Amino acid sequence: MDFDLENQPEIVRQAVDLGLQGWELARGWLLSPAAWTQFALLVGAFIVALLVTRKIRPALTRLLSPPEDQNGMIATARRTVLAFLPLILPLLAYLFTGVGEGVVRSLFDSGEVIAFGKRVFLFLAARILVKEIIDEPFLNALGRFVLLPMAALYALGLLDDVSLWLSETTVGLGNIRFSLIALARGVIAGSLLFWFGRWSNDQSAAFLKKQEQMRPATRELAIKAAEIAIFGLAFILLMNIMGVNLSTLAVLGGAIGVGLGFGLQKIASNFISGVILLLEGQATVGDYVELDGGEAGTIVKMTARAAILETFDGRWIVVPNEDFITTRVVNYSDSGSANRYEAPFSVSYDTDINKVPKIIESAVAKLPFVLQEPDGPDCELRGFGDSGIDFAVEFWVNGIDDGRNKFTPKVLFAVWNALKDNNIEIPYPHRVVELKGGLPAPTE
């Protein structure tokens, strides 16, 4: 076939040349007994793989399916393996094709068709992996936009040519020049490494949070140390993959040091303060704290820069870690320690006040949240008021009052009921009005 391509662009001439090469290859396959034999072997391998898959896949499904109520490590591993069963068909076809490939090559000294078929089976396996198995959004996107195009190029035999073109094509950024394949390798490897780092960090954090024998502050410190170690290792691996000499990072470290000395002082201060807080353990997740600035709430999260407080009305307050170091902090709870509160009340002046403490202490002690250690309920006489005699009952509880657990209202209910059951009057203000000069005469 002759074409006049002298006046056509270079890309058109290359495309026509590739098309002619493909046509010659296809015509050679169509007219070759070896090609037809290899094609028949591919079809036979696929049919055998299909029949074997129909036999073994139901049995493997029954074997690997754990009971629905099991959620342990072994059950999770079985469900993970079960998700990969759709790969059985293309992988078996690839395996059976490989078994017959040696025989065909020994007879015809040719194996292009069967090699192409094997690559197609691998492409089908990659497609099933992306479409049916990978459900994590990031990995699925990486499979659709990276793995499938690479598998398609490999199936067509163009992967080496594309890789060579990407290696020879370079781009510049100032005095730095790098090839497109190095850039692509860095983006793909970086994405995978930092996704895996995030996943590993989530798993390690979940594992450490389950270690009840560790102090909360120690757990938080271990979580932060694991996070720094995981992402630091991911960064070092990425630099090695991209071929960056780590010794050159000394210049970058010096620049960062200068930046910390000027514009990043607060960030560095908060980061170091956060490490000190975790090491000392004076305030950690779960503690109810109050700062000099008026911020008060339960610490629900501690980050590298700040602590997040949750108030009783559900609002979140972000407090820089530095404030915990440089200002006074009142910690009302340390890992669920007991706290003492009091509930004031009054009784009438007609009451035998010697009986009141025993009645009130007995009633309050029956409440399930009131502790007997370090001390049980204690009813004390506080003074003689204008309308009645003032008492207060002190009690110990685990937790913070007037928050998620409102203890004082329940204690006051118990005091009210105990006084009523013993016919003790709760006073209310009385006022005496004196009229000087007597009452005015009625008018007719």
Asked whether residue 392 carries a pLDDT value surpassing 90, the answer given is yes
Asked whether residue 108 carries a pLDDT value surpassing 60, the answer given is no
Strand order from edge to edge, sheet including 296-302: 316-320, 306-310, 296-302, 288-291, 329-331
Label residue 38 exposed, middle or buried (CB < 10 Å: 0-12, 13-18, 19+).
buried
Give CA–CA dist 256/252, Å, rounded.
6
Task: Write down the pTM of the prediction.
Answer: 0.48
Say whether 444 sits in a helix, a strand or coil. coil
Asked whether residue 1 carries a pLDDT value surpassing 50, the answer given is no
The mean pLDDT value for 393-405 works out to 78
Asked whether residue 413 carries a pLDDT value surpassing 90, the answer given is yes
Task: Express each pLDDT in 293-322 by its tens digit.
Answer: 778 888 888 877 788 888 877 788 888 888
Q: 297 forms bridges with which residues in the sheet? A: 289
Instruction: Please name the residue that has the structure tokens 């029954």.
Output: 62
Task: Express each pLDDT in 70-99 by its tens digit.
Answer: 777 777 777 778 888 888 888 888 888 877
Say whether 10 sits in a helix, a strand or coil. helix
Instruction: Specify the higher pLDDT residue, 27 or 66.
Output: 66
Give CA–CA dist 389/345, Å, rounded.
9
Q: Are 395 and 341 in contact (CB under 8 A)?
A: yes
Neighbours of 195 (CB within 10 A): 15
In the chain, % helix, strand, coil (3-state, to 5) comes to: 60, 15, 30
Angle in degrees, 0-180, between the axes of helices 148-155 and 112-128, rounded to the nearest 10: 170
Across the chain, mean pLDDT equals 77
Q: Which of 153, 160, 163 is nearest to 126 (CA)?
A: 153
